[in-house]
Amino acid sequence: MMRVFEMTDLGEMSNFLGIEIKQRQNEIFIYQQKYAKEILKKFYMDNCKSMSTPMCQKEKLCKDDEIAKVNKSEYRSLVGCLMYLTATRPDIMYAVSVLSRFMNCANESHPRAAKRVLRYVKGAVSFGVKFCLTPSFELQGYSNSDWVGSLNDMKNTSGFCSD
């Protein structure tokens, strides 16, 4: 490409749009440790205790008009930051997708659940995704579902992952 276009070789990529990249022989690791720490600091959670899971297993969030509403812009900012973090953190993807359902109708329980995700991130700031070269290819799939996962519309919540 350097013969056709005018460009400069800057070597191996180490950072792109806040995503940190470590390249080794036969593997690439992408993560957002610096960004995760910035989010924790922005929402005053940098000195909090960490949690072992991003979401309480039995907690069911719902739209409830009788519970006091919260500052929508702050909640949207928090969920938006978490959404960008999911680029390298599939472990928080489900929790963030549930939180994003309540962007227009957030009540007191939603920021509490979002802060739990931040507490989980606090204990796992160095997590990311590792891509490895393997000699053989084996497709694996995982799925999960629950009955009446959404209390607002009584629909099942399900998800899948393949690697």
Q: 């005053």: which residue's tokens?
A: 44
> What whole-number distance in Å separates Cα of residue 88 and Cα of residue 131?
11
pLDDT tens sequence across 133-153: 888 878 877 776 665 555 555
Give me the residue spans of the domains in the chain. Answer: 20-50+69-162
Is residue 159 scored above 80 in pLDDT?
A: no
Check residues 59 and 75 and name the one with the higher pLDDT. 75
**Mean pLDDT value across residues 107-127:** 90
Q: 């009584």: which residue's tokens?
A: 154
- Does the pTM surpass 0.75? The reply is yes
pLDDT tens sequence across 62-83: 676 666 777 788 989 999 999 9
H or E stretch including 95?
helix 93-100
The pLDDT of residue 125: 92
pLDDT tens sequence across 88-97: 998 898 889 8
3-state secondary structure 16-32: ECCEEEEEECCEEEEEC
Q: What are phi and psi of 143, to 5 degrees?
A: -145, 160
Q: How far is CA 125 from the centre of its chain?
A: 11
> What whole-number distance in Å separates Cα of residue 76 and Cα of residue 64?
18
Kindly report the number of other CB atoms within 10 A of residue 70's CB atom: 15
